Chain A
């Protein structure tokens, strides 16, 4: 095992985190600074691993849906949709079209609320509290709408394997349209506050730049990638749920500003454009929503029995507000619980973009750059090894050795049975 050595730099070494007002969740930034300028940046995640995957391996697939919802406190539908998509593939369950549409509607409402939440956090990081209050006040409207449709503000409990648990009826459409009208107006107001304000431009323009080439190398996802001009969106590239029927395109900043700079400002632009896009998508979905059943297999007992017979592995994907989420699931016949469940939250792909974004910028830019990828740190976190006060990183060879050892252990226990 290799201990991470903290090299004595030419300037000063300073740390931000794991508990710091700039960070809403625990992560640590190790910085070499010269005056206010950041020479070299690095980060150390692994401060809040919760072992959710381990818990999932001890529950049946329907129970895991609710556990998956609780991976993230913001994306209530993101993880459950990815998980059920994987399970549906394994068990070959055909989801009814109406259920696909309802999944997309809730997904888009979630995107609106997540982006507005982010806008508020970003404004607070910049010290612009009026914009923070404005964004969160606007967000309350979508929270109310989601509560009206699903019964919950955050964890919606809408998703079931093979469909959705609640209908969105024609009587509810006027209430949705009322909110969409509200967001049309709110978008104009937010765009004025966030995009036209001189101080916001001073802080965000050409700050935290991730160039197109860097983005190609580091493979970020979601708005982080799109703000650097990379056309990448699961909803467009590999349509699922109701998205194949919709008029939907990649939201890159040049649609509004005519250029791609890949800075923090562009990431604000992309998210605001996506709020607008989501409003349009919800309207399209409501217009085109067909009639039909909500669930492929309405009875949970029947569903569980079918899942118990299913075997195989699959990957379920979803374009979360922060980018692509991926769930790998493996089921074995005769077992209620998944044999393997691996969650890749979107921030996992975006973390590395922090380094080119931060280097060369100032200490003052750390909060807004850290926030600009909209990190979901607890959703992403992996195990960190700490021994005698030293953090360790496992090398590839060690990981290989450990996995070989584990395989041997499993083989031994299987042969003993």
Chain B
């Protein structure tokens, strides 16, 4: 990379960070309003998460006496930074120049990067020196281990499909985005992909720590768990990292399963800027739909799982489902 490219990437990363935070908070507001309406409530205004962040930023930032200050204060920064970093690898709506780090990472890297914000939260929780935060941190680690199996199975299934067709860079998200995977499989593989889609939609609440997989935070049990000691600016950073992560995981699902662009479907020919705008709007709509089905709808319709039930659900139910989906995708090639 030349100096110019690096500067360009850095500038792009800042812009991405800004937009992903704004977008994530906007999504959080929409999620809250949708959930409220389904519970026959009015709900907060959509801008509520922005007001919350603004409030947290001016509030006192308390560091507990028995916390490890550098780790306690560092964790939120790492969480936010790593969440933004993932976004630099995920293609968006085929807009030229995105992802900023195109060609530098693949799905395996994204899988590892996804662990980082969660690990930062674990470190922050353990550094807080509160028993509730410690319990929350342990639960977070268990949850991470739990949802890794269905996540990995899905990614392997995708890579195997593309590799078996002799496509170059099977692990690259750009490859997946360029060729919607549904068009490459027959009826059996289609069934398998459906199973993988359901699995991935249910991995999202685990990744984001939402009900029913919110055992690490579990307000009524451990009073917010990992975040119990966090306040003010640090809590705002964690909230922002969660907002960015919402965009990240929904983008990942859209990138894997629904990479179509509106301009391609309608086959409209217009200038590049207009096309990019239309595609971006369509992309955000897809993200919202994915968020509605994987976060909002799930969290209002079930009770919270115990931590051992989280593992059971991810390994025994979703893990088996994902493996079955993977085998169906593989079996599809045989027919």
Contacts and interface: CB of A to CB of B under 8 A. Distances in A.
Given A363-B135, A363-B221, A127 B41 contact: no
B305 A199 contact: yes
Interface in A7-33: 12, 14, 20-22
Contacts of B222: 363
Contacts of B303: 123, 126-128, 131, 197, 199-200, 202-203
B307 interface: yes
B326 interface: no
B262 interface: no
Interface string A332-359: 0000000000000000000000000000
B36 to A, nearest CB: 9
Interface in B287-334: 300-309
Nearest to A127: B304
B219 interface: yes
A125 B220 contact: yes
A94 interface: no
A280 B218 CA distance: 39
A176 B20 CA distance: 54
Contacts of B304: 126-128, 199, 203, 364
B131 interface: yes
Interface string B223-246: 110000000000000000000000
A362 interface: yes
A365 interface: yes
A72 to B, nearest CB: 23
Contacts of A134: 39
B39 A130 contact: yes
A36 B131 contact: no
In this complex, which of B212, B221, B305, B308 has the most chain A Cβ atoms within 10 angstroms of its Cβ? B221
Nearest to A22: B220
B75 interface: no
B21 interface: no
Contacts of B212: 127, 199
Interface residues of A, number: 31
Contacts of B219: 21, 127
B268 interface: no
B306 A367 contact: no
A124 interface: yes
Given A133-B40, A362-B308, A364-B215, A197 B302 contact: yes
A137 interface: yes
B140 interface: no
B211 interface: yes
A126 B302 CA distance: 9
Interface string B190-230: 00000000000000000000011011001111111000000
Interface in B84-128: none
A364 B218 contact: yes
Nearest to B301: A130
In this complex, which of B138, B219, B220, B304 has the most chain A Cβ atoms within 10 angstroms of its Cβ? B220
Contacts of B215: 364
A364 B40 contact: no
Contacts, number: 80
A125 B224 CA distance: 13
B300 A129 contact: yes
Nearest to B38: A130
Contact of B40 (A14, A35, A137, A367): A137
B19 to A, nearest CB: 31
B220 to A, nearest CB: 5
A125 B223 CA distance: 11
B221 A203 contact: no
Given A14-B131, A199-B212, A127 B220 contact: yes
Nearest to B313: A202
A117 interface: no
A35 B311 CA distance: 15
A199 B305 CA distance: 7
A127 B308 contact: no
B102 to A, nearest CB: 40
Contacts of B214: 127
B230 to A, nearest CB: 16
A129 B303 CA distance: 8
B41 A367 contact: no
Contact of A130 (B218, B300, B306, B307): B300
B121 to A, nearest CB: 19
A366 interface: yes
Contacts of A125: 220
Interface in A347-389: 362-367
B39 A366 contact: no
A366 B222 CA distance: 10
Interface string B44-65: 0000000000000000000000
Interface string A180-208: 00000000000000000111101100000
A159 to B, nearest CB: 35
A371 to B, nearest CB: 9
Contacts of B306: 36, 202-203, 362, 364-365
In this complex, which of B300, B304, B307, B309 has the most chain A Cβ atoms within 10 angstroms of its Cβ? B304
Contact of B221 (A12, A123, A197, A364): A364
A202 B309 CA distance: 8
Contacts of A12: 131
Contacts of B220: 21-22, 124-127, 367
Contacts of A126: 220, 303-304
29 contacts: A14-B135, A21-B219, A21-B223, A22-B221, A35-B138, A123-B303, A125-B220, A127-B214, A127-B219, A127-B303, A127-B304, A128-B303, A128-B304, A129-B300, A130-B38, A130-B301, A133-B41, A197-B302, A199-B302, A199-B304, A202-B306, A203-B303, A203-B304, A363-B221, A364-B215, A364-B221, A364-B306, A364-B307, A365-B306
Given A36-B135, A127-B214, A130-B39, 10 more contacts: A21-B219, A125-B220, A127-B218, A202-B303, A202-B309, A363-B135, A363-B222, A364-B221, A364-B307, A366-B221
Interface of B: 38-41, 131, 135, 138, 211-212, 214-215, 218-224, 300-309
